[in-house]
Structure 1
Amino acid sequence: MIALNDKRIRPKLKKFLITNSKKPIKVVDELHINFGTAIADVVAIDRYMHCFEIKGETDKIQRIETQGKVLDSSFPKVTLVTTENHLVYALKNSPEHWGIIKVSNDKGKIIFRSIRTAKTNPNFNKEIALFSLWKSELLSFSLSNNFEVAERMNKKVISKLISNNLSSKKVIEAIAEIISQRIKS
């Protein structure tokens, strides 16, 4: 039997997400976050961004411990999508607020089953989340919120200015809207 790896899981996961009753506005592949130091596998965008991290049968599940910190700081919700062989480890070692979806192969049909629902992420950091935006997007967003910014300011400074002056809710919604406009359907 062919292994359930990212290449086989990802397109089915995206289809699963867009046919779900809580259909997102957009589903994005490989979103660069935290100055490009990490890549989120699949992101469902609605009023906020929900990251889906895929760990297939042949992946090293232990990587969630280091990847998890970066994903946690960048997304208000995170769900691990993994296979039976990684389930015990995932339940024991993933943050309690992460959702977990088990993916399995039933006679050639890929099935997704929710094991744990994602909760609001207590480790979300709006300043780090803003690093997912391009500098031009940060400048535009700053100006639309009447912040004094200069073209020469770097992304870190602009992100800090925004995060110090806006609520998490406002930042979360703005990031989701900006990235959904950036990504063509």
Structure 2
Amino acid sequence: MERMDALLYDCDIREPLFDYLEERFGKARMFEEKIIGKSRADVLMVTEGRITGLEIKSDADTYERLKRQIRDYDKYCDENYVVIGRSHAKHVEEHIPAYWGVLVVSVNGREIVIEEMRPALQNPKMKRELQLAILWRAELQNIIEQNHLPHYRQKSKRFVREKLLEKLEWNRLKLEVCEELFERDYTLLEEEEG
């Protein structure tokens, strides 16, 4: 299998991508297939104080939904990458904003190789209130308790998010949001509905 032109599918890309990200960024937590806005994010990666969106476009994918996906990723993430098979390398930059990064996945011999074609820059369109909306009610309550704020138990999640944004300095709040996501316990899944 000494081919550089092998077609890669989403299932071929994910595991090598996670290995690459963990090697490059160290402590990271990956969330797959997370609904953000009207899109399903392939991967949200949480690192200390940062949420990175990764949209996978394998060699078998088209750009058909990418415009909407970009709008949604931009609302929730601090930075974004499109992760592409080599067949997209020539034209991908025509389809993404200048601040999106590009990771190219290819086959070299028996190895899958990932190279950064373009680094991701700070996303200028991220909405703080939407980033907070990723948290479950219990996670919002944890932040309230850590900061000795009133509990607002009878209030909506939206009200609680607005109070956190009003009362806490963003850089501190952002670190706490990322810490809550690192610690997320999916055995408490029903909390997400609360």
Structure-1-length-normalised TM-score = 0.86
**In structure 2, what is the equivalent of residue 17 of structure 1?**
21
C-alpha displacement of 1:183: 5.3
Unaligned runs of 5+ residues in structure 1 are: none
**In structure 1, what is the equivalent of residue 44 of structure 2?**
43
Separation in 2, partners of 1:141, 1:31: 25
**CA deviations over 1:36-94 (Å, ceiling 9, x no partner):** x5433223322122222211111222322101111111111111111222234421121
Structure-2-length-normalised TM-score = 0.82
**In structure 2, what is the equivalent of residue 102 of structure 1?**
104
Considering only CA atoms, is the larger Rg found in Structure 1 or Structure 2?
2
C-alpha displacement of 1:111: 1.0
Separation in 2, partners of 1:30, 1:45: 11
Q: Which amino acid aligns with 1:155?
A: K
Separation in 2, partners of 1:168, 1:147: 15
8 Å CA contact 1:61, 1:86 repeated in 2 = no
**CA deviations over 1:154-180 (Å, ceiling 9, x no partner):** 222222222233343223222211110
- The partner residue of 2:54 within 32, 52, 55 is 52
In structure 2, do the counterparts of structure 1 residues 109 and 183 end up closer, same or farther at CA, with 3 Å as the change threshold?
A: farther
Q: Which amino acid aligns with 1:136?
A: A
Corresponding position: 1:177 with 2:179: yes
Unaligned runs of 5+ residues in structure 2 are: 187-194
8 Å CA contact 2:7, 2:85 repeated in 1 = no
**CA deviations over 1:111-169 (Å, ceiling 9, x no partner):** 11111101111111110001111011112212322333422222222222222333432
